[in-house]
Amino acid sequence: MFLGVKLVVLLVYLFIGYKWNQKNNTSLALKLVFWIVLIRLMLSSLHEITYQSIAAGLSLISIFSIGFVAIALLYLTKIRYPYFWGRQFILVKILILVMLISGLLGSFVLAAVEVIKWIFLLCMMCLLIVAVKENKLLKLIRALCVAYSYPLILTFLSIVFMEVKASEADGSRSFIGGFNHESAFSIVVFTSFFLMLLYFEATMKSVFMKIGLLFLGLIILFLINYRTTVMAYMVFFGFYCFLVFLRSDIRGKLLSFIPIVVLFILSPLFVTSSLLERFEEIPQFIADITDLMVPYDYYYNQDRKYFSGRLYIWNVYFMGWYESSMLYQLIGHGPGSWRAFYTLYAHNTYISALYEIGVVGFSILISIFIITLLRLILLFNKPVVRIALPGMLGFIVLNMATMPLWQIEGVVLFSLLCVFSSRGVLTHESEWPAK
Protein backbone atom coordinates (compact mmCIF):
# COMPACT_ATOMS: atom_id res chain seq x y z
CA MET A 1 0.00 0.00 0.00
CA PHE A 2 2.70 2.49 0.98
CA LEU A 3 4.47 1.92 -2.34
CA GLY A 4 1.38 3.38 -4.00
CA VAL A 5 1.50 6.36 -1.63
CA LYS A 6 5.15 6.94 -2.56
CA LEU A 7 4.33 6.81 -6.28
CA VAL A 8 1.58 9.43 -5.87
CA VAL A 9 3.88 11.76 -3.88
CA LEU A 10 6.62 11.25 -6.47
CA LEU A 11 4.35 12.28 -9.33
CA VAL A 12 3.15 15.33 -7.39
CA TYR A 13 6.74 16.39 -6.71
CA LEU A 14 7.74 15.98 -10.34
CA PHE A 15 5.04 18.54 -11.15
CA ILE A 16 6.04 20.79 -8.21
CA GLY A 17 9.69 20.68 -9.26
CA TYR A 18 8.90 21.58 -12.86
CA LYS A 19 6.59 24.46 -11.91
CA TRP A 20 8.97 25.80 -9.23
CA ASN A 21 11.91 26.00 -11.62
CA GLN A 22 9.73 27.53 -14.31
CA LYS A 23 8.28 30.16 -11.95
CA ASN A 24 11.66 31.13 -10.48
CA ASN A 25 13.47 31.23 -13.84
CA THR A 26 16.39 29.14 -12.56
CA SER A 27 19.61 28.73 -14.53
CA LEU A 28 20.68 25.44 -16.07
CA ALA A 29 23.22 24.85 -13.27
CA LEU A 30 20.56 25.23 -10.58
CA LYS A 31 18.16 23.03 -12.52
CA LEU A 32 20.83 20.33 -12.64
CA VAL A 33 21.46 20.59 -8.89
CA PHE A 34 17.74 20.53 -8.14
CA TRP A 35 16.89 17.55 -10.32
CA ILE A 36 19.98 15.53 -9.43
CA VAL A 37 19.10 15.85 -5.74
CA LEU A 38 15.36 15.33 -6.13
CA ILE A 39 15.59 12.38 -8.54
CA ARG A 40 18.19 10.73 -6.32
CA LEU A 41 15.80 11.07 -3.35
CA MET A 42 12.93 9.71 -5.43
CA LEU A 43 14.95 6.70 -6.59
CA SER A 44 16.04 6.01 -3.01
CA SER A 45 12.43 6.09 -1.82
CA LEU A 46 11.44 3.50 -4.45
CA HIS A 47 14.08 1.01 -3.35
CA GLU A 48 11.72 -1.91 -4.01
CA ILE A 49 12.25 -1.16 -7.71
CA THR A 50 15.48 0.81 -8.05
CA TYR A 51 17.72 -1.44 -5.92
CA GLN A 52 17.24 -4.44 -8.21
CA SER A 53 20.23 -5.38 -10.40
CA ILE A 54 19.39 -4.89 -14.07
CA ALA A 55 22.72 -4.83 -15.97
CA ALA A 56 26.28 -5.99 -15.18
CA GLY A 57 25.40 -6.25 -11.49
CA LEU A 58 24.40 -2.57 -11.38
CA SER A 59 21.09 -1.46 -9.92
CA LEU A 60 18.89 1.18 -11.47
CA ILE A 61 19.87 3.73 -8.81
CA SER A 62 23.59 3.05 -9.44
CA ILE A 63 23.14 3.58 -13.17
CA PHE A 64 21.37 6.86 -12.54
CA SER A 65 24.17 7.98 -10.17
CA ILE A 66 26.75 7.30 -12.89
CA GLY A 67 24.49 9.16 -15.31
CA PHE A 68 24.35 12.16 -12.95
CA VAL A 69 28.16 12.30 -12.90
CA ALA A 70 28.30 12.08 -16.70
CA ILE A 71 25.73 14.88 -17.15
CA ALA A 72 27.52 17.10 -14.63
CA LEU A 73 30.87 16.52 -16.33
CA LEU A 74 29.39 17.32 -19.75
CA TYR A 75 27.89 20.56 -18.46
CA LEU A 76 31.07 21.64 -16.66
CA THR A 77 33.10 20.83 -19.78
CA LYS A 78 30.71 22.86 -21.93
CA ILE A 79 31.09 25.97 -19.76
CA ARG A 80 34.85 25.31 -19.45
CA TYR A 81 34.79 25.12 -15.69
CA PRO A 82 38.23 24.00 -14.34
CA TYR A 83 36.78 21.10 -12.36
CA PHE A 84 39.83 18.86 -12.84
CA TRP A 85 42.83 21.02 -13.69
CA GLY A 86 42.08 24.10 -11.57
CA ARG A 87 43.46 24.62 -8.07
CA GLN A 88 40.00 24.66 -6.50
CA PHE A 89 39.34 21.63 -4.27
CA ILE A 90 42.89 20.44 -4.97
CA LEU A 91 42.95 18.10 -1.95
CA VAL A 92 39.84 16.29 -3.18
CA LYS A 93 41.54 15.78 -6.55
CA ILE A 94 44.71 14.48 -4.90
CA LEU A 95 42.62 12.10 -2.78
CA ILE A 96 40.93 10.74 -5.93
CA LEU A 97 44.39 10.11 -7.42
CA VAL A 98 45.53 8.33 -4.24
CA MET A 99 42.40 6.15 -4.33
CA LEU A 100 43.16 5.11 -7.90
CA ILE A 101 46.77 4.28 -7.03
CA SER A 102 45.64 2.36 -3.96
CA GLY A 103 43.16 0.48 -6.14
CA LEU A 104 46.05 -1.03 -8.06
CA LEU A 105 46.93 -3.02 -4.91
CA GLY A 106 43.41 -4.36 -4.56
CA SER A 107 40.54 -4.43 -7.02
CA PHE A 108 40.70 -1.57 -9.50
CA VAL A 109 37.02 -2.11 -10.37
CA LEU A 110 35.94 -1.69 -6.75
CA ALA A 111 38.23 1.34 -6.45
CA ALA A 112 36.64 2.88 -9.54
CA VAL A 113 33.18 2.50 -7.97
CA GLU A 114 34.32 4.39 -4.87
CA VAL A 115 36.13 7.01 -6.98
CA ILE A 116 32.89 7.74 -8.85
CA LYS A 117 31.37 8.94 -5.55
CA TRP A 118 34.27 11.36 -5.04
CA ILE A 119 34.00 12.57 -8.63
CA PHE A 120 30.31 13.10 -7.87
CA LEU A 121 31.37 15.19 -4.85
CA LEU A 122 33.72 17.26 -7.03
CA CYS A 123 31.07 17.80 -9.70
CA MET A 124 28.42 18.66 -7.11
CA MET A 125 30.65 21.30 -5.50
CA CYS A 126 31.41 22.84 -8.90
CA LEU A 127 27.72 22.85 -9.88
CA LEU A 128 26.76 24.48 -6.58
CA ILE A 129 29.33 27.24 -7.08
CA VAL A 130 28.10 27.95 -10.62
CA ALA A 131 24.47 27.84 -9.41
CA VAL A 132 25.21 30.39 -6.68
CA LYS A 133 26.96 32.75 -9.09
CA GLU A 134 24.10 32.59 -11.57
CA ASN A 135 21.14 32.60 -9.15
CA LYS A 136 22.35 33.93 -5.77
CA LEU A 137 22.72 31.89 -2.63
CA LEU A 138 19.20 32.35 -1.29
CA LYS A 139 17.60 30.91 -4.42
CA LEU A 140 19.87 27.87 -4.23
CA ILE A 141 18.85 27.27 -0.62
CA ARG A 142 15.17 27.66 -1.48
CA ALA A 143 15.51 25.19 -4.36
CA LEU A 144 17.17 22.60 -2.14
CA CYS A 145 14.53 23.12 0.58
CA VAL A 146 11.85 22.29 -2.00
CA ALA A 147 13.72 19.13 -3.05
CA TYR A 148 14.35 18.01 0.54
CA SER A 149 10.74 18.55 1.56
CA TYR A 150 9.97 15.39 -0.45
CA PRO A 151 11.46 12.93 2.10
CA LEU A 152 9.93 14.91 4.97
CA ILE A 153 6.47 14.54 3.45
CA LEU A 154 7.07 10.80 3.15
CA THR A 155 8.18 10.71 6.79
CA PHE A 156 4.96 12.32 8.00
CA LEU A 157 2.93 9.98 5.77
CA SER A 158 4.76 6.93 7.14
CA ILE A 159 3.75 8.05 10.64
CA VAL A 160 0.14 8.55 9.55
CA PHE A 161 -0.01 5.14 7.83
CA MET A 162 2.13 3.50 10.56
CA GLU A 163 4.65 2.33 7.95
CA VAL A 164 7.54 1.16 10.12
CA LYS A 165 10.69 -0.87 9.70
CA ALA A 166 12.20 -3.22 12.29
CA SER A 167 15.69 -1.74 12.50
CA GLU A 168 17.44 -3.89 15.09
CA ALA A 169 17.50 -7.44 16.37
CA ASP A 170 15.85 -6.11 19.53
CA GLY A 171 12.67 -5.39 17.56
CA SER A 172 12.87 -1.59 17.70
CA ARG A 173 11.02 0.25 14.94
CA SER A 174 11.92 3.11 12.63
CA PHE A 175 9.75 5.54 10.69
CA ILE A 176 11.85 6.07 7.56
CA GLY A 177 9.29 7.20 5.00
CA GLY A 178 9.42 3.97 3.05
CA PHE A 179 13.15 4.35 2.34
CA ASN A 180 15.47 1.33 2.49
CA HIS A 181 17.68 2.02 5.51
CA GLU A 182 17.60 4.38 8.47
CA SER A 183 21.30 5.29 8.06
CA ALA A 184 20.97 6.99 4.67
CA PHE A 185 17.51 8.34 5.46
CA SER A 186 18.63 9.93 8.73
CA ILE A 187 21.38 11.75 6.81
CA VAL A 188 18.73 13.02 4.38
CA VAL A 189 16.65 14.34 7.30
CA PHE A 190 19.75 15.93 8.88
CA THR A 191 20.42 17.71 5.56
CA SER A 192 16.76 18.78 5.28
CA PHE A 193 16.74 20.58 8.63
CA PHE A 194 20.21 22.01 8.04
CA LEU A 195 18.90 23.64 4.83
CA MET A 196 15.64 24.80 6.41
CA LEU A 197 17.55 26.43 9.24
CA LEU A 198 19.63 28.26 6.61
CA TYR A 199 16.41 29.44 4.98
CA PHE A 200 14.98 30.58 8.33
CA GLU A 201 18.21 32.49 8.94
CA ALA A 202 18.02 34.11 5.51
CA THR A 203 14.41 35.18 5.98
CA MET A 204 15.05 36.48 9.52
CA LYS A 205 12.70 34.14 11.35
CA SER A 206 12.65 34.53 15.11
CA VAL A 207 15.00 32.58 17.37
CA PHE A 208 11.93 30.84 18.79
CA MET A 209 10.96 29.54 15.31
CA LYS A 210 14.52 28.36 14.59
CA ILE A 211 14.75 26.49 17.89
CA GLY A 212 11.30 25.01 17.28
CA LEU A 213 12.43 23.84 13.82
CA LEU A 214 15.48 22.13 15.30
CA PHE A 215 13.35 20.44 17.96
CA LEU A 216 11.07 19.09 15.24
CA GLY A 217 14.10 17.69 13.45
CA LEU A 218 15.30 16.01 16.64
CA ILE A 219 11.92 14.39 17.26
CA ILE A 220 11.87 13.03 13.69
CA LEU A 221 15.38 11.64 14.10
CA PHE A 222 14.30 9.95 17.32
CA LEU A 223 11.49 8.31 15.35
CA ILE A 224 13.97 7.24 12.67
CA ASN A 225 15.81 5.57 15.54
CA TYR A 226 19.42 5.79 14.30
CA ARG A 227 21.66 6.65 17.24
CA THR A 228 24.68 7.93 15.29
CA THR A 229 22.73 10.61 13.43
CA VAL A 230 20.84 11.56 16.60
CA MET A 231 24.18 12.23 18.33
CA ALA A 232 25.51 14.19 15.33
CA TYR A 233 22.31 16.25 15.16
CA MET A 234 22.49 16.98 18.89
CA VAL A 235 26.03 18.34 18.35
CA PHE A 236 24.66 20.49 15.50
CA PHE A 237 21.69 21.62 17.61
CA GLY A 238 23.71 22.25 20.77
CA PHE A 239 26.50 24.20 19.09
CA TYR A 240 23.99 26.33 17.18
CA CYS A 241 22.26 27.18 20.48
CA PHE A 242 25.67 28.01 21.95
CA LEU A 243 26.39 30.44 19.09
CA VAL A 244 22.95 32.04 19.50
CA PHE A 245 23.66 32.38 23.22
CA LEU A 246 26.94 34.19 22.53
CA ARG A 247 25.46 36.66 20.05
CA SER A 248 22.00 37.38 21.51
CA ASP A 249 20.46 39.74 24.02
CA ILE A 250 19.00 38.46 27.30
CA ARG A 251 15.83 37.16 25.63
CA GLY A 252 17.81 35.37 22.95
CA LYS A 253 20.14 33.86 25.55
CA LEU A 254 17.17 32.43 27.43
CA LEU A 255 15.65 31.03 24.24
CA SER A 256 18.92 29.34 23.36
CA PHE A 257 19.57 27.99 26.87
CA ILE A 258 16.09 26.65 27.64
CA PRO A 259 16.09 24.10 24.75
CA ILE A 260 19.21 22.43 26.12
CA VAL A 261 17.56 21.98 29.52
CA VAL A 262 14.27 20.84 28.01
CA LEU A 263 16.15 18.44 25.74
CA PHE A 264 17.65 16.54 28.66
CA ILE A 265 14.36 16.52 30.60
CA LEU A 266 11.98 15.50 27.82
CA SER A 267 14.15 13.41 25.49
CA PRO A 268 13.20 10.12 27.24
CA LEU A 269 9.58 10.80 26.27
CA PHE A 270 10.45 10.79 22.57
CA VAL A 271 13.06 8.03 22.54
CA THR A 272 12.18 4.38 22.26
CA SER A 273 13.37 2.13 25.07
CA SER A 274 15.77 0.33 22.72
CA LEU A 275 17.40 3.61 21.68
CA LEU A 276 17.74 4.62 25.31
CA GLU A 277 19.43 1.33 26.05
CA ARG A 278 21.91 1.99 23.26
CA PHE A 279 22.75 5.42 24.70
CA GLU A 280 23.17 3.87 28.15
CA GLU A 281 26.12 1.89 26.76
CA ILE A 282 28.25 5.03 26.66
CA PRO A 283 28.99 5.36 30.44
CA GLN A 284 29.77 1.63 30.63
CA PHE A 285 32.08 1.94 27.62
CA ILE A 286 33.96 4.81 29.29
CA ALA A 287 34.35 2.74 32.44
CA ASP A 288 35.71 -0.24 30.46
CA ILE A 289 37.79 1.67 27.93
CA THR A 290 41.18 0.60 29.33
CA ASP A 291 40.18 -3.08 29.12
CA LEU A 292 39.05 -2.60 25.51
CA MET A 293 42.37 -1.21 24.25
CA VAL A 294 43.48 -4.67 23.14
CA PRO A 295 43.31 -6.64 19.85
CA TYR A 296 39.85 -7.95 19.00
CA ASP A 297 40.98 -11.54 19.66
CA TYR A 298 40.89 -10.75 23.38
CA TYR A 299 37.33 -9.39 23.38
CA TYR A 300 34.73 -11.23 25.42
CA ASN A 301 31.27 -11.75 23.92
CA GLN A 302 29.82 -8.83 25.89
CA ASP A 303 32.64 -6.56 24.65
CA ARG A 304 31.69 -7.31 21.04
CA LYS A 305 28.21 -5.88 21.57
CA TYR A 306 29.24 -2.28 22.31
CA PHE A 307 27.57 0.23 19.98
CA SER A 308 25.76 -2.51 18.04
CA GLY A 309 29.06 -4.28 17.46
CA ARG A 310 30.79 -1.21 16.02
CA LEU A 311 33.64 -1.17 18.54
CA TYR A 312 34.57 -4.74 17.63
CA ILE A 313 34.34 -3.94 13.88
CA TRP A 314 36.60 -0.89 14.28
CA ASN A 315 39.15 -3.00 16.14
CA VAL A 316 39.10 -5.67 13.41
CA TYR A 317 39.74 -3.09 10.67
CA PHE A 318 42.43 -1.29 12.66
CA MET A 319 44.29 -4.52 13.34
CA GLY A 320 43.92 -5.45 9.68
CA TRP A 321 45.73 -2.24 8.80
CA TYR A 322 48.26 -2.47 11.65
CA GLU A 323 49.33 -6.02 10.77
CA SER A 324 49.79 -5.21 7.07
CA SER A 325 53.08 -4.53 5.30
CA MET A 326 54.53 -1.01 5.15
CA LEU A 327 53.25 -0.48 1.60
CA TYR A 328 49.67 -1.34 2.56
CA GLN A 329 49.94 0.82 5.67
CA LEU A 330 50.97 3.78 3.52
CA ILE A 331 48.47 3.60 0.65
CA GLY A 332 45.97 1.04 1.92
CA HIS A 333 44.43 -2.14 0.56
CA GLY A 334 42.37 -0.26 -2.00
CA PRO A 335 38.91 1.36 -1.91
CA GLY A 336 36.20 -1.24 -1.51
CA SER A 337 38.77 -3.94 -0.67
CA TRP A 338 36.96 -4.76 2.59
CA ARG A 339 34.45 -6.82 0.58
CA ALA A 340 37.13 -9.45 -0.07
CA PHE A 341 37.95 -9.92 3.63
CA TYR A 342 35.02 -8.82 5.80
CA THR A 343 31.26 -9.24 5.76
CA LEU A 344 30.53 -5.84 7.35
CA TYR A 345 31.79 -2.41 6.34
CA ALA A 346 33.79 -0.42 8.91
CA HIS A 347 30.96 1.82 10.21
CA ASN A 348 33.57 4.57 10.68
CA THR A 349 34.89 6.81 7.90
CA TYR A 350 38.25 7.36 9.59
CA ILE A 351 38.97 3.69 10.33
CA SER A 352 37.77 2.72 6.85
CA ALA A 353 40.03 5.34 5.24
CA LEU A 354 43.03 4.09 7.21
CA TYR A 355 42.41 0.52 6.06
CA GLU A 356 41.45 1.24 2.44
CA ILE A 357 43.68 4.19 1.44
CA GLY A 358 46.35 4.04 4.13
CA VAL A 359 48.07 6.76 6.09
CA VAL A 360 48.46 8.90 2.95
CA GLY A 361 44.75 8.88 2.07
CA PHE A 362 43.69 9.12 5.72
CA SER A 363 45.89 12.22 6.20
CA ILE A 364 44.44 13.89 3.11
CA LEU A 365 40.87 13.16 4.23
CA ILE A 366 41.53 14.55 7.72
CA SER A 367 43.17 17.61 6.11
CA ILE A 368 40.04 18.20 4.01
CA PHE A 369 37.87 18.09 7.12
CA ILE A 370 40.19 20.33 9.16
CA ILE A 371 40.65 22.90 6.38
CA THR A 372 36.88 23.07 5.79
CA LEU A 373 36.33 23.55 9.53
CA LEU A 374 39.02 26.26 9.79
CA ARG A 375 37.65 28.13 6.78
CA LEU A 376 34.22 28.17 8.38
CA ILE A 377 35.70 29.49 11.64
CA LEU A 378 37.54 32.26 9.77
CA LEU A 379 34.29 33.26 8.00
CA PHE A 380 32.27 33.15 11.21
CA ASN A 381 30.83 36.65 10.72
CA LYS A 382 28.74 35.40 7.78
CA PRO A 383 25.18 34.28 8.70
CA VAL A 384 25.36 31.14 6.54
CA VAL A 385 28.59 30.10 8.26
CA ARG A 386 27.04 30.38 11.70
CA ILE A 387 24.84 27.45 10.62
CA ALA A 388 27.36 25.64 8.41
CA LEU A 389 29.92 25.55 11.25
CA PRO A 390 27.65 23.57 13.62
CA GLY A 391 26.66 21.47 10.61
CA MET A 392 30.31 20.61 9.93
CA LEU A 393 30.88 19.66 13.56
CA GLY A 394 27.84 17.38 13.39
CA PHE A 395 29.14 15.88 10.15
CA ILE A 396 32.52 15.12 11.74
CA VAL A 397 30.72 13.29 14.58
CA LEU A 398 28.53 11.49 12.05
CA ASN A 399 31.64 10.00 10.43
CA MET A 400 32.74 8.49 13.74
CA ALA A 401 30.13 5.73 13.78
CA THR A 402 28.83 5.49 10.22
CA MET A 403 30.07 6.33 6.72
CA PRO A 404 28.11 9.20 5.13
CA LEU A 405 30.72 9.64 2.38
CA TRP A 406 30.00 6.06 1.35
CA GLN A 407 26.48 7.20 0.42
CA ILE A 408 25.43 9.78 -2.15
CA GLU A 409 23.15 11.36 0.47
CA GLY A 410 26.17 12.10 2.66
CA VAL A 411 28.22 13.27 -0.31
CA VAL A 412 25.57 15.90 -1.10
CA LEU A 413 25.65 17.16 2.51
CA PHE A 414 29.44 17.39 2.51
CA SER A 415 29.45 19.20 -0.85
CA LEU A 416 27.17 21.86 0.67
CA LEU A 417 29.43 22.27 3.72
CA CYS A 418 32.53 22.61 1.53
CA VAL A 419 30.89 25.16 -0.76
CA PHE A 420 29.56 27.20 2.17
CA SER A 421 33.14 27.45 3.44
CA SER A 422 34.17 29.21 0.22
CA ARG A 423 34.68 32.96 0.54
CA GLY A 424 33.76 33.46 -3.12
CA VAL A 425 30.37 31.82 -2.64
CA LEU A 426 29.58 33.90 0.44
CA THR A 427 30.00 37.15 -1.50
CA HIS A 428 26.60 36.27 -2.98
CA GLU A 429 25.07 36.47 0.48
CA SER A 430 24.54 40.22 0.03
CA GLU A 431 20.86 39.71 -0.78
CA TRP A 432 20.26 38.46 2.77
CA PRO A 433 18.70 40.92 5.21
CA ALA A 434 21.24 42.74 7.33
CA LYS A 435 21.51 41.56 10.93
Q: What is the pLDDT along the chain (435 residues), one digit of tens a residue?
A: 789 999 999 999 999 999 999 999 999 999 999 999 999 999 999 998 998 888 767 888 989 989 999 999 999 998 888 777 778 889 999 999 999 999 988 888 888 888 999 999 999 999 999 999 999 899 999 999 999 999 999 999 999 998 888 655 555 678 999 898 888 999 999 999 999 999 998 888 888 889 889 989 999 998 998 888 998 999 999 899 888 888 777 666 676 677 666 666 655 554 444 555 555 555 555 544 544 554 555 454 555 555 556 777 888 888 888 888 999 999 999 998 888 888 888 889 999 999 999 999 999 999 999 999 999 999 888 888 889 999 999 999 999 988 999 899 999 999 999 999 987 776 655 455 544
Say how far apart CA 409 and CA 416 lie, in whole Å: 11
Count the alpha carbons within 13 Å of 121 in the hemisphere toward its beta carbon.
27
Tally of CA atoms within 13 A in the half-sphere of 419 that contains its CB: 25
Spatial separation of the C-alpha atoms in residues 382 and 426, rounded to whole Å: 8
Instruction: Please give the Cα distance from 163 to 155 (Å, whole number).
Output: 9
Residue pair 259/241 in contact (Cβ under 8 Å)? The answer is yes
Whose CA is closest to 281, among 313, 315, 304? 304
Nearest-CA neighbor of 235 among 390, 63, 58, 35?
Answer: 390
Q: Are strands 53-55 and 165-166 parallel, antiparallel or unpaired?
A: unpaired
**Positive or negative, the Cα torsion across 381, 385, 389, 394?**
positive
Entry pTM: 0.90
Return the closest-CA partner of residue 186 out of 393, 409, 350.
409
Q: How far apart are CA 148 and CA 45, in angstroms?
A: 12
Q: Which residues 6+ apart lie within 8 Å of 184 measured at CB?
A: 44, 407, 409, 410
**Pick from 47, 159, 97: which is nearest to 409 by CA?**
47
How far is the C-alpha of 256 from the C-alpha of 246, rounded, in Å?
9
